[in-house]
Amino acid sequence: MDHFLYRSGTLHAEDVPIPEIAAVVGTPFYVYSTATLERHYRLFTEALDPLPHLVCFAVKSNSNVAVLKVLGDLGAGMDVVSGGEYLRAKAAGVPGDRIVFSGVGKTREEMRLALEGGIRQFNVESEPELLALSEVAAGMGLRAPIALRVNPDVDARTHEKIATGKSENKFGIPIARAREVYALAAGLPGIEVCAVDVHIGSQLTDLEPFEQAYLKVADLTRALRADGHTIRRLDLGGGLGIPYTRSNEAPPLPAEYGALIKRTVGDLGCEIEIEPGRLISGNAGLLVSGVIYVKAGEGRDFLIVDAAMNDLVRPSMYGAHHDIVPVVEPAAGALAQPFDVVGPVCETGDTFAKARHLPALAAGDLVAFRSAGAYGAVMASEYNTRPLVPEVLVRGDHFAVIRARPTFDEILNRDTIPEWL
Ligand code: LLP
């Protein structure tokens, strides 16, 4: 459920008509609903109650500091994968003891930054990383709290570019070797073992792969305890999928996911961490775009909109589907016709949808791409020197620009011409 509904024939974000925002901000822009973000976060915490837990929002899915503050103010933790994301979480007021640091390639500088600012745990993905972290922490007179991210070798049954839990993927330590690496970790001066971490992929629409992975983590936890390690927490990753179309798919609900967690690892007495991104932010955001031209082609008509692949890359990168809806609701019984919805970028890949049925639209009309709150703005670029797409946050009947569209002066001033040219 989200808070983007038609009222009196116009699409609203909570209580704000979308055209009102477009008039102030211009198109294209992203708009997020505070109520939807809050609701989705609460679904997870309720699903995990009464187990002790921390829901760590995957910052990579939507890293705007205002969005992070909405969640942080509710008590959310943050899952970060870079020094930059760590600084964003801190800027949103999230204390270090609610931040977990994931990722295969943490640099020593990033480790130092997090150790200085405070960190709940590093999710370590390899032996070289473990050795580097121990050295950095010991050099600062500290012990870094860690989980080892284990690779359980399960098939997440999702898009191959976002599956991470098979042995051929670059992520984690093969679960068969985990005990050996935990033994190494326990002997290092700068390391404090406290948890086990697993994350098998994103946009999972089936609970079965989670079940397989979590049962393996439960077995490993028992074995590690028998080996003498203190395992206080389990980080079970993110990945629960969302419905991208109104009709067919209905991925499992957070409540069902919570029940699975309780069934598989609930008896271990561990604090549970999860790292959902998409399910919290995905359906909390729209990308709003204006129609530039309607172009009659051979055998098809093109809707040329002012958003492009640089603003929302998921369709061209993963062949992902985003529902596209007119901001002004078509009259009942209005005929829909197929359009190829494309952006202005000079690549055939700049196509959002093919033969998508939409009502008659004209230049100047607004359309909204649904489910764009996750992996939308964060993956945007300025390809074709198109200014980075702005972001807007709505709460009730008011809205604020939470990232402004850069001016062309700002963009051009980032480049410098060397004096010898
Ligand atoms: N934790 C870790 C360690 C991750 O790598 C990810 C996502 C998450 C949590 C959050 O997963 P979520 O709950 O959002 O599924 N750009 C792609 C998605 C990449 C996901 C990468 N890792 C897309 O647009 O579909």
The structure tokens 């020593």 sit at 108
Task: Tell me which long-range contacts 350-356 makes (C-beta under 8 A, separation of at least 24).
Answer: 350/308, 350/309, 350/316, 351/315, 351/316, 352/305, 352/307, 352/312, 352/315, 352/322, 352/324, 353/315, 353/321, 353/322, 353/324, 355/300, 356/324
Residue 27 lies in a domain: yes
Mean pLDDT over each residue of the chain, to the nearest integer: 96
* Token pair listed for 266: 């609930």
In a domain, 419, yes or no: no
Residues 127 and 273 in one domain: yes
Q: Could you give the number of structural domains in the chain? A: 2
* Domain hosting residue 211, numbered range: 34-280
- Torsion angles phi and psi, residue 120, rounded to 5: -75, -50
Share of the chain above pLDDT 70, in %: 99
Catalytic residue annotation = 346
- Residues 355, 265 within the same domain: no
Mean pLDDT (whole number) for 188-213: 97
Are residues 104 and 167 both part of a single domain? yes
Q: Is the CB of 233 under 6 A from ligand 1?
A: no
| pLDDT for residue 88 | 99
407 and 305, same domain (yes or no): yes
Does residue 231 sit in the same domain as residue 191? yes
Say if residue 260 is in the same domain as residue 348. Answer: no
H or E stretch covering 173: strand 173-174
pLDDT band at 364; cut points 50, 70, 90: very high
CATH number at residue 171: 3.20.20.10
- Tokens 């979590």 label which residue? 214
pLDDT, position 249: 66
User: Residues 259-289: pLDDT tens digits?
Assistant: 999 999 999 999 999 999 999 999 999 999 9
Residue 167 · residue 178 · CB < 8 Å: no
Domain boundary among 238, 263, 280: 280
Q: What is the pTM of this model?
A: 0.97
Q: Same domain for 242 and 366?
A: no
Calculate how far, in angstroms, residue 29's C-alpha sits from the geometric centre of ligand 1: 23
Instruction: Return the ∠ at Cα 20 (arms to 15 and 21), rounded to 5°.
Output: 90
Residue 82 Cβ inside 6 Å of ligand 1? The answer reads: no
**Complex confidence, ipTM:** 0.99
| Nearest atom in ligand 1 to 282's CA | 14
Counting atoms of ligand 1 from 1, which one is nearest the CA of 277?
14
d(CA 98, CA 7): 39
